[in-house]
Amino acid sequence: MKTAGSKPPLSPPRWLLAELTYACPLQCPYCSNPVDFARHKEELTTEGWKRVLSEAREMGAVQLGFSGGEPLTRPDLEELVAHARRLGYYSNLITSGYGLSAERIAALKAAGLDHIQVSIQAPEQDLSDWLAGTESFAHKKQVARWVKEQGYPMVLCVVIHRHNIEQMEGILEMAVELGADYLELANTQYYGWARLNRAQLMPTREQFERAEAVARRYKERLKGKMKIYYVIPDYYEDRPKACMNGWGTTFLTIAPDGAALPCHAARELPIDEFPNVRRMSIREIWEESEIFNRFRGFDWMPEPCRSCDEKTKDYGGCRCQAYLLTGDMTATDPVCAKSPHRHLIDQAIAEAEAPPEAPLVFRNPKASRRFFET
């Protein structure tokens, strides 16, 4: 069953990301959903999701994220949360907060939800609403307050890019004002819609460095009060991130239609069909499917990774980033200074100094259909 050779022993999944739906009332231009998301319409049923949760838990998954799209659009969310709680998951609702009421927050708590991560686009109304493509700022702040009041750990998430990076201070002050226990400052990763809009989203090196200094200052100051996770934009590094802690080692994403992905961005890889939970058990998918085995271990690696002693640290970087930039999903992640494609990253950095004029493409079904309808 398991492939022979120098493959390390198989580890069970620990984190499960359940993307319940691609439906979303917001239109963030940096959304990490696949650009052709509107192609996948058939969502798993309540029973289908329950089976996914049960099977993954049995294998050892314990951290669970309910995400999307906007998971609140699923009327069975409370039922799924209750099922997850019974199984012993630590579950997180990753939401835009859109349409969330104090009553529903309480109902989710009663069902056993552990925490809610609310994303806010920017620290001021006009910009936040523009980026969301929806009037939502005031309500999001209200949601954050309710989450806090009801005794959840309050996790605020802000995706950072050139339109809000200058407001790092305002973002941190907003997090303080709202009493966030955790603040995730997620520099945009260029997948999905973000890749499409990269020239309009990528900050310059100077902007990035200034913002990072502000974040570092607050991190020091808020120690013990607020935990700040600062997700670095890896374009400005010279080594890639250890993507997903290694392909098929820790993370499992199930897309709305039941496709199983080693990472939420993997749907953009040139793979015709991902294994689907409608046809296979989670165990079969994790242990036996060709796709989950494809980039496990080190045998698949080309040079310069193959003979590099850092490969156990970063696993050659991100397969999706390699593919999106070089067209070859087995290539060394071009972020690496040793990659023969590093110039592609340097070009993008140079472009950030003088980005071409172009409108942002907002994420919605109409824009998505352009990617598969002719």
The stretch among 31-39, 84-92, 120-128, 353-361 that binds other proteins (CB under 8 A) is 84-92
Q: Residue 255 CA to chain centroid, in angstroms?
A: 12
β-pair partners for 259: 276
The DSSP symbol for 335 reads: T
The DSSP symbol for 302 reads: -
Should residue 229 be labelled a site residue for other proteins when binding is judged by CB under 8 A? yes
Should residue 243 be labelled a site residue for ligand SF4 when binding is judged by CB under 6 A? no
Should residue 316 be labelled a site residue for ligand SF4 when binding is judged by CB under 6 A? yes
Residue 70 interacts with which of other proteins, ligand SF4, none, CB < 5 to 8 Å by class? ligand SF4
Should residue 59 be labelled a site residue for other proteins when binding is judged by CB under 8 A? yes
Query: Between 22 and 251, whose beta carbon lies closer to other proteins?
Result: 251
Should residue 31 be labelled a site residue for ligand SF4 when binding is judged by CB under 6 A? yes
Should residue 92 be labelled a site residue for other proteins when binding is judged by CB under 8 A? yes
Kindly state the smallest distance separating residue 316's Cβ from ligand SF4, in Å: 5
DSSP, collapsed to helix, strand or coil, labels residue 46 as helix
The stretch among 20-28, 137-145, 202-210, 280-288 that binds ligand SF4 (CB under 6 A) is 20-28
For residues 292 and 275, is the Cβ–Cβ distance under 8 A? yes
Question: What does the alpha-carbon distance between residue 6 and residue 371 come to, in Å, rounded to a whole number?
Answer: 39
Site for other proteins in 3-32 (CB under 8 A): 12, 14
Residue 336 interacts with which of ligand SF4, other proteins, none, CB < 5 to 8 Å by class? ligand SF4
Question: What does the alpha-carbon distance between residue 52 and residue 206 come to, in Å, rounded to a whole number?
Answer: 45
Kindly state the smallest distance separating residue 25's Cβ from ligand SF4, in Å: 7
H helix or E strand, kind and range, residue 351: helix 342-353
For residues 278 and 42, is the Cβ–Cβ distance under 8 A? no
Binder among 109, 115, 162, 239 for other proteins (CB under 8 A): 115
In sequence order, what DSSP letters do the residues of 139-204 get, joined into one string? HHHHHHHHHHHTTPPEEEEEEE-TTTGGGHHHHHHHHHHHT-SEEEEEEPP-SHHHHHTHHHHPPP
Structure tokens at 131: 């980026």
Should residue 112 be labelled a site residue for other proteins when binding is judged by CB under 8 A? no
Residue 338 interacts with which of other proteins, ligand SF4, none, CB < 5 to 8 Å by class? ligand SF4
Residue 117 interacts with which of other proteins, ligand SF4, none, CB < 5 to 8 Å by class? other proteins
Question: What does the alpha-carbon distance between residue 365 and residue 184 come to, in Å, rounded to a whole number?
Answer: 27
Should residue 246 be labelled a site residue for ligand SF4 when binding is judged by CB under 6 A? no
Residue 114 interacts with which of ligand SF4, other proteins, none, CB < 5 to 8 Å by class? other proteins
For residues 168 and 211, is the Cβ–Cβ distance under 8 A? yes
Query: Between 134 and 249, whose beta carbon lies closer to other proteins?
Result: 249
Kindly state the smallest distance separating residue 102's Cβ from ligand SF4, in Å: 20
Contacts of 171 (CB under 8 A, 6+ apart): 122, 123, 158, 160, 164, 185
For residues 158 and 183, is the Cβ–Cβ distance under 8 A? yes
Q: Tokens 């993507």 belong to which residue?
A: 243
Question: What does the alpha-carbon distance between residue 283 and residue 285 come to, in Å, rounded to a whole number?
Answer: 5
Residue 123 interacts with which of other proteins, ligand SF4, none, CB < 5 to 8 Å by class? none
Residue 256 interacts with which of ligand SF4, other proteins, none, CB < 5 to 8 Å by class? none
Binding site for ligand SF4 (CB under 6 A): 24, 26-28, 31, 33, 68-70, 96, 239-240, 304-305, 308, 310-311, 314, 316-317, 332-333, 336, 338, 363
Which stretches of the chain bind other proteins, using CB under 8 A?
Answer: 12, 14, 59-60, 62-63, 88, 90, 92, 114-115, 117, 151, 153, 155, 181-182, 184, 224, 227, 229
